[in-house]
Amino acid sequence: MKITDVKTFVVGNPPPHFGGRYWIFLKLTTDGGIVGYGEVYSVPFHPHVVAKMIEDVCERKVIGSDPFKIERLWRNIYSSGFTQRPDTSILGILSGIEMACWDIVGKALNKPVYELLGGQVHEKLRSYTYIYPEERDQTGVYHDPQLAAERASEYVQQGFTAVKFDPVGPYSAFDPRQLSLEALDLSEQFVKLIRAAVGNKCDLLFGTHGQMTPAGAIRLAKRLEPYDPLWLEEPTPPEMPEEMAVVARQTSIPIATGERLTTKYEFARVLANRSASILQIALGRVGGILEAKKIAGMAEAHYAQIAPHLYCGPIAGAADIQLSTCIPNFLMQESILMWGGFYAEILREPIQWQDGYIIPPSKPGLGVELNEEVAARHPYKGDKLHLEMHDKPVTNEVF
């Protein structure tokens, strides 16, 4: 079997844009007509440039290759241009290509990917969601702790057993920083009111985006500890896990990190330094499914758990589900609400979610198919990237 063709899709995610401004998908086709889909997450170039990068890599390394030889293909792409180091650009592209190969392999063997990676461990997958704004809101859910508490209570009624929120304020290219007292007070109010609203029926996941110095993160953690959050996410920037370990040693709250990391090599530093006990692997960036499986195995030996990150489209989400289904140290899966709306429309059949849990698919490959007609009707025409940081130092942390 040989890969003979590649096609890319840059899809604009309609309002309210939950999951990002756009999604980048790719399709590989074999000489036998088997199709595999993949998704590339948040490469730091305009998505149409990223599409050209995907085509370039495929023309040089993928077309003519056997999709079953994933390890060989991975090493050749990873080492392309004498790089051979963790890099979000090449690893994002490699991730999408790799998951498309797994989709092909699963379809060729008529098996879900998880059955080819050790077999199904979990019959259903616990999921969580961010607390999202709605059109009916009179205030902003990201700066109104009472509204956030009410929304969290609604999510619990829908079946969620964990919710995430990030009230500390904007993230900037000039972080890390010390949070203001106002930001610390607001953060404490969020966890206090949400805990009061949901009781012990729901875990609280406190999200940050590397805004703080270790000393600043420890100050915040002391405010949050009385309300027992399940995790404090990426309290310091991802480039120095040794500094994140300083935070982990000074708080009882488990530290979670990983959405901006790639490959087993970067996660090895996190584990070696005990920087975090919860790893948020992003399948569309980390290097793909097999690389994530290796990281999960490393984490298992350190008694660390896996909570895959998802702020992109449902093809990467489907890859997350395949991984999560077959690893013993799975904790929970990020969801964009209940996988409805455009998340369902862009697929031939939606991902199944029921009473707070994702139901792993039994269909072969990734278990989902991109609706290419819907993708074609929603081209991305903007000029902004998937996520943008403030380009000036933050002087007022509150939204």
- CA 322 – CA 370 distance, rounded (Å): 16
Q: What is the DSSP string of 10-72?
A: EEE--TT-TT-SEEEEEEEEETT--EEEEEE---SS-HHHHHHHHHHHIIIIITT--TT-HHH
Between helix 289-301 and helix 70-78 the angle, nearest 10°, is: 90
Rounded to 5 degrees, φ, ψ at 325 are -65, -30
- List residues bridging with 212 in a β-sheet: 177
Q: Checking DSSP bridges between strand 255-257 and strand 35-40, what pairing results, if any?
A: unpaired
Let me know if 143 is a catalytic residue: no
Q: What is the DSSP string of 368-396?
A: --B-HHHHHTSB----S-SS--BSS--S-
Whose CA is closest to 75, among 92, 53, 94, 58?
Answer: 94
Q: Are 215 and 178 spatial neighbours (Cβ–Cβ below 8 Å)?
A: yes
Helices (H), 110-235: 145-158, 181-198, 214-224
- CA 265 – CA 245 distance, rounded (Å): 17
Let me know if 390 is a catalytic residue: no
Whose CA is closest to 78, among 264, 269, 293?
Answer: 264
**The one catalytic residue among 17, 48, 309, 378:** 309
- Reduced to 3 states, what is the DSSP secondary structure of residue 9? strand
With tokens 């989709």, the residue in question is 103
- Reduced to 3 states, what is the DSSP secondary structure of residue 246? helix
- List residues bridging with 22 in a β-sheet: 12
Judged on CB neighbours under 10 Å (0-12, 13-18, 19+), 235 is buried
- CA 240 – CA 246 distance, rounded (Å): 11
Q: Which helix (H) or strand (E) holds 8?
A: strand 3-12
**The one catalytic residue among 46, 48, 143, 209:** 209
Active site residues: 209, 309
